Amino acid sequence: MKVLVINSGSSSLKFQLFDMQSKSVLARGLVDRIGVKGTSLLKFAVDKNKEEKEVQAGNHQEALETVMQCLVAPGKGPLTSLDEINAVGHRVLHGGKVYESVLIDESIKKIIDDCSIMGPLHNPPGLMGINAAERLLPGVPQVAVFDTAFFQTMPEKAYTYALPYDICNTYGIRRYGFHGTSHRYVVRQALQLPALAGKEKKAVALITCHLGNGCSITASIGGKAVDTSMGLTPLEGLVMGTRCGDIDPAIVPFLQKNAGMSADEMDTMMNKKSGLLGLTGISSDMRDIEEAAERGEDKAVLALDIFCYRIIKYIGAYAFAMGGVDAVCFTAGIGENSPIVRKRICKGLGRLGIVLDEEANEAAFGREAIISSPVSQVLVAVVPTNEELMIAMETAEVTAKTD
Ligand code: AMP
């Protein structure tokens, strides 16, 4: 069985084609700068052969069309015909009350559309990707895999906001949590770490830190989520590339009244102009922030401090809420590749009994590694995420059930 996984952003479309028997990747890549006239960029890789070229992709359908041409390009692509694609899996951010992976039909598309208000950066492009795939691969099952699914095991006390109960009920306001596919994958991998083999699986308390452009942190016991930092939307919690994470909610009406900002302007500011970018005015990219901090630029030094401090606070809170923690795992772009960030966080967690193995930390880039010292009371690990494989497995499962 071959499954194409699609992850659509507002101006990008990432894809991976999997052979589900071997769980291997047959091709991967992305189309970037969709809709930016004349400068869309296609990156396409089969094994170690990589291709990069400018393409015409005015919208997601044109982007996907280009990808498909590459998939069947004689001598280059892994397929002889698009008929070999058995199913398409889509990463979908928010489905409100719908969270289990599901075959996409018109009613599911309407739900995704209705939930755009809670995922304005992700749901609309997600839907564009779905529509494009439907048109280009008619009759091929399309499956939605929701970012919120992993968090359905959270107890009521963790997902309920202390707002009037009826208002929350009426508007579906609660903590949903996001990056669920990533946290689920990392938790599964972590539970198989030989270093945790002696523990009873259903009692293992983990804290997984997904630190990428978006950042979130999840507490789980025995593989089941018990709390997470993102909320009704992916804005709550940690400091991110352009998102502010936790702030006093009263700042919103304060700025509306005193700076004359509209609800939309506030939303844009908090989602796209805050976080590392807003704090520094330099960049939303952690590599740039680290470099600027290294040069001694004050704002970058402060941003790095705030970023790590917020994570330390969450890890402390979750460790206490779970009555202890067995392992802390780092994943995603920053978590997998930044020894600087990991070191700062671990340094702030000495009271939890965490002792970092500095050499192991410095050597861990994009691969699974234990980075705590043998004397550490809590295991610390780098566990690379693989959301695409998880989506492909879910897609295969859903299609098998409906065959
Ligand atoms: P993701 O959203 O998972 O692709 O992660 C993107 C983030 O990872 C960006 O902030 C990058 O700056 C960051 N990142 C990637 N590689 C490194 C690295 N070597 N050191 C620090 N941050 C990195």
Query: What pLDDT, in 10s, does the model give residues 290-302?
Result: 999 999 999 999 9
Clarify whether residues 360 and 242 are in a common domain: yes
For ligand 1, say whether the CB of 285 is within 6 Å of any of its atoms: yes
- From 43, 334, 362, mutation site for ligand 1 pocket: most ligand atoms within 8 A of C-beta: 334
Angle at 52 between CA 46 and CA 54, to 5 degrees: 140
> Which ligand 1 atom lies nearest to the CA of residue 214?
2
Q: Catalytic: 47?
A: no
The tens digit of pLDDT for each residue in 152-165 reads 999 999 999 999 99
Residue 330, pLDDT score: 98
Terminal-to-terminal C-alpha distance of the chain:
13
Averaged over 385-401, what is the pLDDT? 95
Is residue 34 very low, low, confident or very high in pLDDT (cuts 50, 70, 90)? confident
Classify residue 121: in a domain, yes or no: yes
Classify residue 187: in a domain, yes or no: no
For ligand 1, say whether the CB of 333 is within 6 Å of any of its atoms: yes
Residue 179, pLDDT score: 95
Q: How far is CA 377 from CA 201, 220, 234, 339, in A?
A: 18, 18, 32, 20
The residue whose CA is least distant from atom 8 of ligand 1 is: 333
Averaged over 261-280, what is the pLDDT? 96
Domain count, the chain: 2
Would the pTM of this model clear 0.85, i.e. be above it? yes
Q: Residue 341 Cα, ligand 1 centroid: separation in angstroms?
A: 11
Residue 36, pLDDT score: 75
Top pLDDT among 117 and 226 is at: 226
Averaged over 136-146, what is the pLDDT? 96
Check whether 40 has a pLDDT greater than 90.
Answer: no
Residue range of the domain that includes 273:
199-387
For ligand 1, say whether the CB of 16 is within 6 Å of any of its atoms: no
Classify residue 255: in a domain, yes or no: yes
Using CB atoms within 10 Å of the CB of residue 76, give its burial: 0 to 12 exposed, 13 to 18 middle, 19+ buried.
middle
Clarify whether residues 20 and 131 are in a common domain: yes
- Residue 216 and residue 210 in contact, taking contact as beta carbons nearer than 8 Å: yes
Check whether 95 has a pLDDT greater than 90.
Answer: yes
Side chain identity, residue 139: G
Check whether 402 has a pLDDT greater than 90.
Answer: no
Classify residue 36: in a domain, yes or no: yes
Clarify whether residues 300 and 372 are in a common domain: yes
Residue 129, pLDDT score: 93
Of 146, 168, 187, the residue at which a domain comes to its end is 146
- The one catalytic residue in 32, 147, 326, 357 is 147
Check whether 7 has a pLDDT greater than 90.
Answer: yes
Of 102, 124, 146, the residue at which a domain comes to its end is 146
Clarify whether residues 228 and 362 are in a common domain: yes
> Which residues face 24 on adjacent strands?
19
CATH number of the domain residue 93 falls in: 3.30.420.40
83 DSSP 8-state letter: G
Residue 118, pLDDT score: 86
Q: How far is CA 338 from CA 107, 187, 353, 377, in A?
A: 42, 20, 22, 22
Is residue 352 very low, low, confident or very high in pLDDT (cuts 50, 70, 90)? very high
Clarify whether residues 107 and 232 are in a common domain: no
Residue 174, pLDDT score: 96
Q: Which of 225, 223, 235 is nearest to 120 (CA)?
A: 235
Residue 215, pLDDT score: 97
Is residue 346 very low, low, confident or very high in pLDDT (cuts 50, 70, 90)? very high
Classify residue 399: in a domain, yes or no: no
Is residue 57 very low, low, confident or very high in pLDDT (cuts 50, 70, 90)? confident
Classify residue 94: in a domain, yes or no: yes
Q: Residue 172 Cα, ligand 1 centroid: separation in angstroms?
A: 33
Per the structure block, which two tokens stand in for 330?
A: 């780092």
Per the structure block, which two tokens stand in for 313?
A: 């606070």
Is residue 403 very low, low, confident or very high in pLDDT (cuts 50, 70, 90)? confident
Classify residue 219: in a domain, yes or no: yes
Per the structure block, which two tokens stand in for 27?
A: 């091709």
Using CB atoms within 10 Å of the CB of residue 153, give its burial: 0 to 12 exposed, 13 to 18 middle, 19+ buried.
middle
Check whether 80 has a pLDDT greater than 80.
Answer: yes
Check whether 166 has a pLDDT greater than 80.
Answer: yes
Check whether 85 has a pLDDT greater than 80.
Answer: yes
Residue 263, pLDDT score: 95
Top pLDDT among 346 and 54 is at: 346
Q: 267-296 b/e with 16+ CB inside 10 Å = b?
A: eebbbeebbbbbbbebbbebeebbebbeee
The tens digit of pLDDT for each residue in 233-246 reads 999 999 999 999 99
Check whether 35 has a pLDDT greater than 90.
Answer: no
The tens digit of pLDDT for each residue in 367-378 reads 999 999 999 999
The tens digit of pLDDT for each residue in 168-213 reads 999 999 999 999 999 999 999 999 999 999 899 999 999 999 999 9
Q: Residue 331 Cα, ligand 1 centroid: separation in angstroms?
A: 10
Classify residue 188: in a domain, yes or no: no
The tens digit of pLDDT for each residue in 312-344 reads 999 999 999 999 999 999 999 999 999 999 999
SS3 224: strand
Clarify whether residues 142 and 15 are in a common domain: yes
Residue 41, pLDDT score: 85
CA–CA dist 141, 400 (Å, integer): 10
Clarify whether residues 133 and 220 are in a common domain: no
